[in-house]
Structure 1
């Protein structure tokens, strides 16, 4: 189950936004789009929720476990994602149940003994640098 915690004049309010999730992580609020993005790492799915329209959309990844999703600044359908040790650009319209494209752009921990590591949860800083934890 996915929930959204919002602050109202009368105090915090918890709202159920999805029942189709197993282990949600990496919430990212896109202020411009007024949309919440997050991943279900067990699903494996990428979700978005638009509170103003009470609309929830999930994109199935066919076995590819996306561990974080951050909208790519200046675009409407591109997102920085991580898959295992890889950083990629996801093209997704936010409406369909499948992605348009996934392009891998970088990998970390390429040493043989680190092959099982994965980039897990992260954010972009104000200058656009991606910071992610390793697991």
Structure 2
């Protein structure tokens, strides 16, 4: 398996990639660049859309079963755009202090709700939370707090049978799993899915002894959990039981999130970061911030659409 460079123009912090099956395009965001990008991977063309604040995550959306634009988590709330470049309509205003907290990793669930977690930027308290937003059956969005006690929300994903939800707190190097009832949206039996060793004190780029911390994730049709290890220059494949199945080196020290795409969902894409990275790291990994792809043997799950 060999990585190919899909987008050579780097993002500061690429995140939230997904493959749009109707448009046959790859979407992702640049958080500090305040941009949403989409790429026609066959033509190599990229379109960019400026946001008023940092986008933490995006998902494709549909209305009455017809694809229509995006749902977008910005610093201060969840927004709906009916088409590319359209006016942003606020669905939910953030309940957090936007001076210290913003929305981060998020996705639509298999029933069409949008989930988004928060990131507490001072990183000295575990006050980040996870919310779901349901716009399917009511005039006003139904917002539920689903979990909390984190610093930076990441790693959101669901199992193929929609019975398990995963969520990561990146600074504590911990991914949790819950039993999940898709219809009632109830979570139970919280447990540690995988715990990684912490970052050694004083560790810097070029030193040994650190494998990175869990960032964004995706799940394949066999239920394996693929997680990008930020500062670890690797992508890990974990079994549904949390066992390490494979470790794949990535051509950037800071991979951020994988997704599956292409007609057969056997092209694995991964976003990466270069924002605030050292000169030594960028010299060693000059394509940091670019989007990469490789072919894999097992297909991934298709992206879920937000429904309203």
Task: Tell me if both proteins adopt one fold, taking TM over 0.5 as the criterion.
Answer: yes
The 3-state SS of whatever aligns with 1:53 is coil
Q: Does residue 82 in structure 1 map to residue 73 in structure 2?
A: yes
Equivalent residue for 2:25?
35
Question: Following TM superposition, by how much is the alpha carbon of 1:80 offset from its aligned partner in structure 2, in angstroms?
Answer: 0.0
**Is the contact made by 1:18 and 1:56 (CA closer than 8 Å) also made in structure 2?**
no
| Structure-1 separation of matches of 2:8 and 2:48 | 10
Question: Following TM superposition, by how much is the alpha carbon of 1:132 offset from its aligned partner in structure 2, in angstroms?
Answer: 1.7
Question: Following TM superposition, by how much is the alpha carbon of 1:103 offset from its aligned partner in structure 2, in angstroms?
Answer: 0.5
Q: Does residue 44 in structure 1 map to residue 26 in structure 2?
A: no
**TM-score between the two structures when normalised by the length of structure 1:** 0.74
Q: Which runs of 5+ in 1 are unaligned?
A: 1-10, 94-98
Equivalent residue for 2:58?
69
**Is the contact made by 1:45 and 1:59 (CA closer than 8 Å) also made in structure 2?**
yes
The 3-state SS of whatever aligns with 2:67 is coil
| Structure-1 separation of matches of 2:77 and 2:12 | 23
**Is the contact made by 2:55 and 2:73 (CA closer than 8 Å) also made in structure 1?**
yes
Of 108, 111, 127, 1:124 maps to 108
Which has the higher relative contact order, 1 or 2, with Cα contacts under 8 A spaced 6 or more apart? 2
Q: How many residues matched?
A: 114
| Structure-2 separation of matches of 1:53 and 1:39 | 19
Q: 1:24 to 1:124 in 2, by over 3 A?
A: same
Root-mean-square deviation (CA), in Å?
Answer: 1.8
The 3-state SS of whatever aligns with 2:42 is helix
Q: Which runs of 5+ in 2 are unaligned?
A: 120-308
Q: Does residue 115 in structure 1 map to residue 105 in structure 2?
A: no
Question: Following TM superposition, by how much is the alpha carbon of 1:68 offset from its aligned partner in structure 2, in angstroms?
Answer: 1.3
**TM-score between the two structures when normalised by the length of structure 2:** 0.34
Q: Does residue 104 in structure 1 map to residue 90 in structure 2?
A: yes
**Is the contact made by 2:6 and 2:41 (CA closer than 8 Å) also made in structure 1?**
no
Equivalent residue for 1:53?
43
Question: Following TM superposition, by how much is the alpha carbon of 1:75 offset from its aligned partner in structure 2, in angstroms?
Answer: 2.6
Larger radius of gyration: 2
